[in-house]
Amino acid sequence: MNICVIGTGYVGLVAGTCFAESGNDVICVDIDSKKIERLNRGEVPIYEPGLEELIKRNSEDGRLRFTTDLALAVKESLICFIAVGTPPGEDGSADLKYVLEAARGVAKNMDGYRVIVDKSTVPVGTAEKVKAAVCSELKLRGVDYEFDVVSNPEFLKEGAAIDDFMKPDRVVIGADNEKAAEIMEELYSPFVRTNKPILIMDVKSAEMTKYAANAMLASKISFINEIANLCELVGADVANVRRGIGSDSRIGFEFLFPGVGYGGSCFPKDVQAIIRTGSEYGYDLKILKAVEAVNYRQKEVMVDRILKHFKESGVSGQGSGKPLEGKIIGVWGLSFKPRTDDMREAPSITIINRLLEAGARVKVHDPEAMDEAKKVFGDRIEYMKDNYEVVTDADALAVITEWNEFRRPNFDKIKALMKTPVIFDGRNIYEPKEMMEHGFIYYGIGRI
* Catalytic positions: 266
DSSP string, 45-82: SS--TTHHHHHHHHHHTTSEEEES-HHHHHHT-SEEEE
9 exposed, middle or buried (CB, 10 Å; 0-12, 13-18, 19+)? Answer: middle
List, in sequence order, the alpha helices (H) in 313-410: 347-357, 370-377, 387-391
DSSP string, 218-241: HHHHHHHHHHHHHHHHHT--HHHH
DSSP string, 111-158: -S-EEEEE-S---TTHHHHHHHHHHHHHHHHT----EEEEE----PPT
353 exposed, middle or buried (CB, 10 Å; 0-12, 13-18, 19+)? Answer: middle
Fill in the DSSP letter of residue 395: S
Q: Which residues pair with 92 in a beta bridge?
A: none
User: From its phi and psi, is residue 55 left (phi > 0), alpha (psi between -120 and 50) or beta?
Assistant: alpha
Output helix, strand, coil percentages for the chain, rounded to the nearest 5: 45, 15, 40
Cα four-point dihedral sign 22, 25, 28, 34:
positive
| Contacts for 208 with CB less than 8 Å, ≥ 6 apart | 124
List, in sequence order, the alpha helices (H) in 171-262: 178-188, 203-234, 238-246
Nearest to 205, CA basis, from 272, 93, 124, 279: 124
Query: Pairing relation of β-strands 441-443 and 422-425?
Result: parallel
321 exposed, middle or buried (CB, 10 Å; 0-12, 13-18, 19+)? Answer: exposed
What angle do helix axes 267-280 and 286-312 make, rounded to 10 degrees? 140
